[in-house]
Amino acid sequence: MQARIPLIPNSAVPLEASPAKVEDTFDDRERDTRETRRQGTMTTTHETFDRVESQVRSYSRSFPKLFGKAKGSIIYGEDGREYIDFLAGCSSLNYGHNDPDMQAALVDYVTSDGITHGLDMFTRAKEEFLVAYENIILKPRGMDYKLMFTGPTGANAVEAAIKLARKVTGRTNVIAFTNGFHGMTLGALAATGNAGKRGGAGIDLNGVHRAPFEGYFGPDVDTADMLEQMLDDPSGGIDAPAAILVEPVQGEGGLNAASGEWLKKIETIAKKHGALLILDDIQAGCGRTGTFFSFEEFGLDPDIITQAKSLSGMGLPFALTLLKPEHDIWKPAEHNGTFRGNNHAFVTARVALEKFWRDDAFANSVRAKGEHLKTRLGAIAKRYGLNLRGRGMMMGINTEQGDVASDICAKCFEKGLIIETSGGRDEVVKVLCPLTIDIAQLDKGLDIIEDAFEAVLAKDVSRAAAE
């Protein structure tokens, strides 16, 4: 029998505010909670979270709702209310919630005692994923890369990429860009631009030189030329770089989509200066822009590519660092971790590759929906004199003000749509719906966005007139 763990009262919460007695156990409370919910008498859904969970949580603040189920592009509140999901686990659910084929394969694997945890040992599930990735992704694209399974988060894939670039070149400096987001562990955070995120580090974040992303100084300044000039100049002040780390489309940083020409220049600069080019495709990859890798149409040849988020296909934690074979100089276990290669994710990721990437049908449908999204968001943006941002099905509207964008997202939530902001000032209303969404649901969500823009911006205009 399981030990019954006494609950320790949270000193920040007055005891009388808590529905449970101090001597209650976790089991007691869970049973009480389930019973209360079953009887329909649970009035606040976040009391438990406020009491027990750290305040570091974030998305639950924008969407303070108890969710229970999800299918396709819909998440269901425990009260039965339906929400269209235009956040999709921040691009971790490109194929929607609970794809039936991935679900069936996973259930079958689990119930037939397939290995759940195998460290990085050889398992059937891993082998099948490797073969699928090689045959469906790498070979048809003429790509020659080794697959390195890192810890399960995107940040870990980025850490591995940065470490490897430093090891290969014997240099430390990494060039990363304004508005870049690469994760919250110290190495990845050093490459991240956002001051609020960096502030949580509690230590100096070193080893990164910040360069301006494309368009940072407006359309007339070529920031790639600027970077090249500074690197060429012995007094430019930039230490010889180990790597240039860049997102082809900046997801968290406000949906800034780099052009192929700019990325090509960055690649040339990296080669000329002996740095490795690392493309962080964690958010923009797995089909989000209409191709498996977001940079495919640009003819780039990165040294290292990072993937995570939708790679498992079903929202399971799973990350990958792809490296050119000549850079595979790791010593065994030099970048280690208990959770490298999630066998359940190997199963669902293989199904995702086989189901969606064996031919062009899915990619074509994503491109068509991306055009539709562009047309409809473009019309909304035009109405209010705002700009569109992004590429493919990673698109949004720059409202230019964080409070406006968050008011719009809050209004959307009231109307049954889950959508978030991005950008340095949270000023972009960002659509990241599942790529599998049908047009009717996409339009329904876009109608809600349209109404929310009208409600918030009309209110703003009348507020300005009254002042």
**Among the listed residues 387, 451, 465, the one whose alpha carbon sits nearest the alpha carbon of residue 417:** 451
CA distance 436 to 369: 9
Closest contact distance (angstroms) between CB of 247 and ligand PLP is 5
Residue 43 sits at φ, ψ, to 5 deg, of: -90, -40
- Is residue 349 within the footprint of ligand PLP (CB under 6 A)? no
C-alpha distance from residue 398 to each of 82, 214, 312, 395, 435 (Å): 27, 16, 30, 10, 22
Amino acid at 429: V
Q: Is 218 left (phi over 0), alpha (psi -120 to 50) or beta?
A: left
Amino acid at 14: P
Altogether, the residues listed in the chain come to a count of 467
Closest contact distance (angstroms) between CB of 294 and ligand PLP is 10
Closest contact distance (angstroms) between CB of 267 and ligand PLP is 18
In terms of DSSP bridges, do strands 208-211 and 173-177 run parallel, antiparallel, or are they unpaired?
A: parallel
Where does this chain touch ligand PLP (CB under 6 A) — which range of 178-186, 322-330, 374-382, 414-422?
178-186
Where does this chain touch ligand PLP (CB under 6 A) — which range of 45-53, 280-288, 391-399, 436-444?
280-288
Nearer to ligand PLP, 158 or 397 (CB): 158
Residue with tokens 């990072």: 306
- Is residue 419 within the footprint of ligand PLP (CB under 6 A)? no
Helix (H) or strand (E) holding 406: helix 402-414
CA distance 5 to 379: 57
Q: Which of residues 169, 223, 283, 321 is near ligand PLP by CB under 6 A?
A: 283
CA distance 39 to 429: 38
- Residue list 245-274, contact with ligand PLP (CB under 6 A): 247, 251-252
Q: How many residues bind ligand PLP (CB under 6 A)?
A: 15
Closest contact distance (angstroms) between CB of 425 and ligand PLP is 17
Q: Which of residues 72, 154, 313, 370 is near ligand PLP by CB under 6 A?
A: 154
- Is residue 282 within the footprint of ligand PLP (CB under 6 A)? yes
- Is residue 390 within the footprint of ligand PLP (CB under 6 A)? no
Q: Which of residues 109, 129, 145, 181 is near ligand PLP by CB under 6 A?
A: 181
Q: Which of residues 158, 380, 395, 428 is near ligand PLP by CB under 6 A?
A: 158
Residues making contact with ligand PLP (CB under 6 A): 90, 153-155, 158, 181-183, 247, 251-252, 280, 282-283, 308
